[in-house]
Structure 1
Amino acid sequence: MRYVMNFEELLETRDARKTTKVRLPYGYFYKRLIDGKYSNFVEFHDEVADHVAFSSCVRREAEEMSKLDDRRQLKFTPNEGGDGVYAIAVEVGHYLTFEQLLNENPAIVARKNFISSTISDLVDLTTQLNDKNIFHVCFAPSNVLVRKSGANVRLLCHGSYYMKLEQDVLYDGVEDFVAPEVFAEGTVDARTDVYSLGKFVAWLYQSGGIPFELKGVLAKATAQSPDDRYASVKDFHQALLARQSMRRTGLVGVAALLIALLAVGCYFYLLPTPEVIEYVKPVDEPIPDDMVDDESLLLDIGADADSATIAAAVQQQAYLNDSLSVDERKMREYQAKAEQIFRKQFTRAADQILSKIYNNEKMNLTEKDFLARSRAMTEELAKKEAELAKEANLGNDRSQRIASEIIDQLTSKKMKELDPDYMGIHKKPSDDDKTINTTVKNKK
C-alpha cells in the first residue's frame, strides 16, 4: 500500500531542501528522512555526549518531560547506540531557533504583541518548570525554539538536568546568556532563569534599543549577584508589565498637562490686560547631513518607509554584522534615522490634528467649546505619539520630547496664521480700551 503524507508532512518535505543543521548549545538540530517521513533530531556534540553521566541525564529528562502537559514543551525520545545516548528524536513539527527566525524575518519583532506574547509564554512555561525544580538555565536565542507557523515559543532540553557536565563546554559560545553562578558551581535556582531570561528580553529589543522604562528592570534581572535579582521569573514579568503601564500613565499625564496649559493660556488671554509671554522657539536637533544622506543606512529605505520596514531593516543589518551583537556606532545611526522618520510621521499627523481646531471657523467658538475641542485634540495627539513611538521602538522620554517640540512649533505657526491679536477668540475690552473708544466718539 502506498503511503500518503499528511498536509504538515508535505510542507516539511517542501522545505526539506532548505533545511541544514542548526547549532544548539548541546548538539545539532536537523531533519532526517525515515520511511518516507521527516523527523526532527538533535545529534549531541561529542564533547557533551562523552560525559559518563550524560545518557542517564537525557533518559531522566525525557521521562519527566513526557508527563508535562504543555504544548510549549517539546517531547523527545532518546536514541541509543553502543556507547549510550547519542541523539534524541523530537516530536513532529517545523521548528526554528529564535536566532534563525529573526535572521529570516527580522520584521516580526515589529508585529503587534510579538515581544509581549513571547515573554508571557516563556514566563508561563518557566514558572511551571521552576515549581518542579527544573531550570532552563540558558535562554540564548539559539536555545529557544519557535514553531514556524504562528511563531509560538517552544523549549526542549533544560540545563538543570545537565549540571554534572562541564558547564563551560556545554554553553560554549552562549556564555553571555548564562548566569555567573552556573560557571562558578554555585546554586542554580529560579534566579538563574531570571538572569538568562532578562538577557533574552534585552536581545529581543536590541534592534530598536531597550525602552527607557525597562532598563532598570532588566538591570535588576541581570545583576551579577543572585541576591540582587528578582526572586522568580513571574516577579520579573510583573515588574516589566508595571513599568510599561507606568509609561501609558505618563502619556495620560502629558495629555492632561497639555490640556491644562491650553486652559491657562485661554484664561490669561481673555483677561482685560493679558500678560505678553515671549515665545521661545525650541532648539532643533538636526541629524547630521552625512548621516541622513548616507544611502547605505537602513538598506537604502526612504524616509517614507513604514515602521515595520524600519524595524526589519535595522534588525537585518544588525544580523549581517553579527548575529549575537550589534555595533554601537551603527545602532546610533539606525536610531537617529528612526528618530528622523518619527519626526516626519508625527509632524504630518500633528499638523492634521491641530488643524481641526486652529482655524478661523473653530477658533470663533465660546470658551467652553474651545476647551472641549482642545481636550479632545490633546488626547488624540498623545495617542498618536504613543502609537508612532512604539512602532519606531523609541523610548517614551525621547519620543515625548520630540513630540512636544513639534507641537510647540506647529501651534506657534498656526496661531500666527490666524488673527495675531485675538486668535479668533474675542477678548473682553479693558478699561483703557473703553476710554479710548469714548474719546474717539466725543471727537466725532
Structure 2
Amino acid sequence: MTYEEILNANGGYQAKSAKTPFGSIERKLKDGKFREVFVIDSKWSAIPAFRQGLQDDCKFSLHLQSKQQLRYEIVEGDNGILELELEQGSYQTLEQTLETTPALVAQSEFVDGVVEGLLTIMEQLHARSVYHICFSPRNVFIRKGDNMPMLLLHGSAFSGMRNEMSLFEDLDDFIAPELKNDGVATAQSDIYSLGQLILWIFRQGNLPYEYKKVAEKAMQANPQHRFASAEKMMKQLNSLHDKKRSFIMLVAALIISAVCIGLYFELTPQTEEREFIEAAPKTPPVDEYADGYDPEFDEVLVGDSDEVDTLTAEEQKVIDDYMKKAEEIFRKRLAMKADGILSKVYNSESMNASEKTFRATSSAMSEELVKLQNELAEETGISDAAADRIASEVIGHIISEKEKAMTPNVNKE
C-alpha cells in the first residue's frame, strides 16, 4: 500500500477522489498539518477567463455570510496547477455520501436538512444576482459530522468564458432547458436544477408527497411556471410538511382509540355470539354541480390579493357563495370516499387481528387519507386550513359512527 493510500484509509477516504465539475478534493500535508485541498482540473486552470472567474468567486464567497458556503483560498503551484485550500473540516460530495451510506435517504431529517439548507443559500445568492446553475450531487458537498450541505464554486462566476456551460458537460440532467439554448442564468434555472436533485435523492425509493409536488412545479419546462423565488419554494415545502404532520397527528389519535377498542374485543370474555348494528345504507351519488357550480371559477379565487381588495360587496358575496359551495363539495366527496378507506380498519375482522397487523393496516389507511384530502382540496380549490378543518370533522364523525356500530349490544337478550 502506498503512502497516499494509507493516508486516505486513515482519514476515512476512498483512494479514488470524488469527481466534480471543477476538480477533486484531496487530503494533503500543509505546514505540518493535513488539510482538505480542492485540486482544479488542469483543463480549466489553463483558461484565463476561468482563472478570473475563480478570483471573483473567491472574493464573493469570503464575504457571503452563509453557513452553507464553503470558503477557500487560491494557491498556485510551480507547475501552474491551481489548488483551493478549504476551511477546516472534512467534506464529500453528496453523491459520495449516499453511495457509502444510502440509508441516509430514509432519514427525513437528513433530506430535509439538505433541501432546506440549499434553498437558504440559494436565496442569499440570488439576492446578489449570483447563480449556482448546477445542483448536481457531484457539485453539492456534505460536511462530515453534521451533514451540512455546502456549495463551493458558483457557475455564474464563470460567465466570462466563451461557453461556461462546458463546465457541466456531463451533467445535462441538472441544467435548466433554457440554459442549454444559450439562455441566461436566473433564479428559475437554479430552482429547476434543485428540483432535479430532489428526484435524484429519491431515485431508489418512494418520493414523499410534499417533495413530489415541489419538484413537479420546480421542473416546469416554462421558467414562468416554476416558483418565483427560492423563498416561495421554501414556503410551499414547509406548508406541505406542516399539513402532513398535523393530519398524521389527527389520524394517530384516532388509531390509538381504535387500538383500545380492538384490545377490548380481544380481552373481554364473550358469553354469547356478537351482534353488530347493521350499517346505514349508502346514500345515492350527489350531483355536485346541480346548483350551477363552475369549477373554472377557481381562477377567480387564486388572483392577486390586490384585486380581491377592490371587489364590491356583491362580488365578494358571489365569491363567498362559491367558496361555501366548493367546501360543501369537498365535504361530500371526502365523506363518500373516506368511508370506504376507514372500513378497511373499522371492521370485525381487522379489530380481531393481531396488534402488529392492525397497526400496519392503520398506517396504510393514514397515508391513503392524507393523499385523498390533498387531491380533493386541490380539485375543489379550497384552502389548506379549510381542508384540514373539514377533514377533521368528517373523519372524526365517520369513525365515531363506525365505533358505535361495532360496539356489542350488551343489553340484548
Give the structure 2 partner of residue 367 of structure 1. none
Q: What is the deviation of 1:396? A: 5.3
Give the counterpart letter for 2:363 in structure 1.
E
Aligned partner (choices 17, 22, 29) of residue 18 of structure 2: 22
Secondary structure of the residue aligned to 1:169 is: helix
**Percent identity over paired residues:** 27
Q: Deviations over 1:47-84 (max 9, x none)?
A: 32333311111111111211123332111112235796
2:355 & 2:125 partners in 1: Cα distance?
A: 51
Conserved in 2, the CA contact under 8 Å of 1:19 and 1:30?
no
1:64 & 1:137 partners in 2: Cα distance?
A: 16
State whether structure 2 residue 161 is matched by structure 1 residue 177: no
1:260 & 1:383 partners in 2: Cα distance?
A: 15
Aligned partner (choices 46, 50, 67) of residue 50 of structure 1: 46
Name stretches of at least 5 consecutive residues in structure 1 with no aligned partner.
1-10, 262-272, 280-342, 356-380, 401-410, 416-420, 430-444
Secondary structure of the residue aligned to 1:31 is: strand
Secondary structure of the residue aligned to 1:22 is: coil
Conserved in 2, the CA contact under 8 Å of 1:179 and 1:192?
yes
State whether structure 2 residue 174 is matched by structure 1 residue 143: no
Q: What is the deviation of 1:175? A: 1.3
2:164 & 2:257 partners in 1: Cα distance?
A: 59
Q: What is the deviation of 1:87? A: 2.9
Give the counterpart letter for 1:118 in structure 2.
V
Q: What is the deviation of 1:277? A: 6.7
2:211 & 2:107 partners in 1: Cα distance?
A: 19
1:309-320 to 2 correspondence within 5 Å? none
TM-score by length of 2: 0.60
Secondary structure of the residue aligned to 1:77 is: strand
Secondary structure of the residue aligned to 2:48 is: coil
How has the CA–CA distance of structure 1 residues 248 and 150 changed in structure 2, closer, same or farther, with 3 Å as cutoff?
closer
How has the CA–CA distance of structure 1 residues 277 and 187 changed in structure 2, closer, same or farther, with 3 Å as cutoff?
same
Q: What is the deviation of 1:113? A: 1.3
Aligned partner (choices 142, 150, 160) of residue 154 of structure 1: 150
State whether structure 2 residue 187 is matched by structure 1 residue 190: yes
2:84 & 2:248 partners in 1: Cα distance?
A: 50
Range 131-140 or range 235-244, more displaced:
235-244
Conserved in 2, the CA contact under 8 Å of 1:214 and 1:244?
no
Q: Which of these two proteins has the greater Rg computed from alpha carbons? A: 1
> Which structure carries more relative contact order (alpha carbon 8 Å, separation 6+)?
1
How has the CA–CA distance of structure 1 residues 349 and 382 changed in structure 2, closer, same or farther, with 3 Å as cutoff?
same
Q: Deviations over 1:101-122 (max 9, x none)?
A: 1111111222241111221211
Instruction: Give the root-mean-square deviation of aligned CA atoms.
Output: 4.3
1:396 & 1:236 partners in 2: Cα distance?
A: 21
1:304-343 to 2 correspondence within 5 Å? none
Q: What is the deviation of 1:135? A: 1.1
Give the structure 1 partner of residue 220 of structure 2. 223
Give the structure 2 partner of residue 128 of structure 1. 124
Range 11-20 or range 209-218, more displaced:
11-20
1:197 & 1:141 partners in 2: Cα distance?
A: 10
Secondary structure of the residue aligned to 1:114 is: helix
Conserved in 1, the CA contact under 8 Å of 2:251 and 2:366?
no
Aligned residues: 295
2:225 & 2:15 partners in 1: Cα distance?
A: 42
